Amino acid sequence: MTDLKPKKIGENQYQIDADSSLGMKVPVTIYANDVLLEKMMTDRTIKQAVNVSTLPGIQEHSIVLPDGHEGYGFPVGGVAAMDAEEGMISPGGVGYDINCGVRLLRTNLTEEQVRPKLNDLVNDLFKSIPSGVGSKGAVRLTQSELDEVLVKGVSWAIDNGYGTNDDANVCEENGQMANADPNKVSDKARKRGLPQLGSLGSGNHFLEVQRVQEIHDEEAAKRMGIEEGTITVLIHCGSRGFGHQVCSDYLRISEQVQEKYDINLADRELACVPNTSEEGESYRKAMFAALNFAWSNRQMITHWTRKSFERVFSQSESDLDMKLVYDVAHNIAKVEKHRIDGKQKKVVVHRKGATRAFPANMDEVPSKYRDLGQPVLVPGSMGTGSWILLGNENSMSASFGSTAHGAGRMMSRSKARRNFTESEVKKSLNDKGIFIKSLTRDGVVEETPQAYKDVDSVVNVSHNLGIATKVAKLVPIGVIKG
């Protein structure tokens, strides 16, 4: 609970002024509506954002996006930019599932064509894409192959026959972070990652077959190959046990050196190190390796998804026109240039459960979309729908080029298990025409649509603020979960 009462400073904007008695160096800005804000007030979301505002070198404000909820150290849906020279880098500000992200595939199939074969399709996808806690990927890597994955990211997968360069061209960072260093990764992380490449994992990770329900921006949708009534596939997963271990390792290292760098924290979960320190450099290089692991992971799942569609519809991938629309990363920290106090400045932008939302004409946006803006993918719950948005000009001044990453949880996993049964959840999805296949009962129950905020209201806040604006709404018809 928190007694920190944000004040309304504009439509969908709230603020907590910087209070030096709390150690705050900058204010906290919250983008939400009254209902979303009320929910944030029931857990530690706001308190965590205030704690973030005390970190050395933080710039302008500590931000909470409309999907914000309590996390580890930073709130999920939190964004903070640190001075690249004087500021910190924090493993908790990126999170355990490094580069948990989403990618969207389009097809030229209509719902009418897919419905009669939906169960076959979902069963085939479920069979060909490993999922679940500790699930093993379908490839066996040697140590030196793992090193290549960690350095090359998506291009490793493409070189090994899991896609084409067209796929890499529509990934954030082209699916490959430069300066990743496998030597900065522990043996334990390698051991966890080695068998898991090419697997979906568990928790909120999923693969969804969806129908395009609404188009809000005709031009952007057309450029992305999105048409009303056609079928898309959304893949949501990250760096698996590999990224989790990298985070654990560097949280421990960061905690051990707080005294060395004379860092006093409002919360030990905020453990951080100077960005330019040896430990900061090492964490960055290990985190980049995990980013590359995740991009390669999603690429392989993409390949098997295409193969499933080929088998079930007896058509080739090119006949089905299964192009990758875009791939975004959620949990990430990168050095970027942003305008602060009227001048361009290098900052380390931490996006924890947040999506980059750059506007048109920025070099970082892939050439295919550069004059349009960066596509943004916001998954909702498996019963409601997901959104494609378009990064917009206001994001640069409002949120360091970021927006929400999903609906955000309303209810803990344990509460969901207490309140719902597998058959109830499956029946309610079935009544909506959604077929789900999951490895475990908990995989269904913990992810019940009622456990999530309303993704439409999260997206409306982003749209109204002009941070990222609506392109299209996608609704699920088939889901596979770990």
As annotated, the active-site residues are: 405
Residue 202 assigned to a binding site:
no
Residue 69 assigned to a binding site:
no
- How distant, in Å, are the alpha carbons of 135, 152, 224 from that of 173? 27, 11, 18
Residue 204 assigned to a binding site:
yes
Residue 186 assigned to a binding site:
no
Residue 241 assigned to a binding site:
no
Residue 419 assigned to a binding site:
no
The answer to whether residues 74 and 93 touch, using CB atoms and an 8 Å cutoff, is yes
Residue 406 assigned to a binding site:
yes
**Number of other residues whose CB lies within 10 A of the CB of residue 21:** 5
Class of residue 140 by CB neighbours under 10 A (exposed 0-12, middle 13-18, buried 19+): exposed
Residue 381 assigned to a binding site:
yes
Q: How far apart are alpha carbons 433 and 262 in whole angstroms? A: 57
What are the backbone dihedrals phi and psi of residue 478, each rounded to the nearest 5 degrees, phi first?
Answer: -145, 140
Query: Which structure tokens are listed for 284?
Result: 């960055």
The answer to whether residues 223 and 371 touch, using CB atoms and an 8 Å cutoff, is no
How far does Cα 367 stand from its chain's mean position?
A: 22
Query: Which structure tokens are listed for 151?
Result: 């350095």
Residue 290 assigned to a binding site:
no
**E strand segments, 316-467:** 324-329, 332-340, 343-352, 354-356, 375-378, 386-391, 402-404, 435-438
Residue 379 assigned to a binding site:
yes
Q: How far apart are alpha carbons 118 and 107 in whole angstroms? A: 14
Helices (H), 129-164: 143-152, 154-159
- How distant, in Å, are the alpha carbons of 299, 309, 439, 480 from that of 129? 12, 13, 12, 9
Residue 124 assigned to a binding site:
no
- How distant, in Å, are the alpha carbons of 27, 106, 136 from that of 297? 38, 19, 12
Q: How far apart are alpha carbons 457 and 161 in whole angstroms? A: 40
Identify the H or E element spanning 308. Answer: helix 278-313
Residue 205 assigned to a binding site:
yes
The answer to whether residues 212 and 225 touch, using CB atoms and an 8 Å cutoff, is no
- How distant, in Å, are the alpha carbons of 176, 333, 402 from that of 301? 17, 24, 26
What are the backbone dihedrals phi and psi of residue 198, each rounded to the nearest 5 degrees, phi first?
Answer: 85, 35
Residue 386 assigned to a binding site:
yes
Residue 216 assigned to a binding site:
no
Residue numbers belonging to the annotated binding site for Mn(2+): 97, 205, 236, 330
Annotated binding site: 97, 204-208, 236, 330-331, 379-382, 386, 405-408, 481
Known binding positions for GMP? 204-208, 330-331, 379-382, 386, 405-408, 481
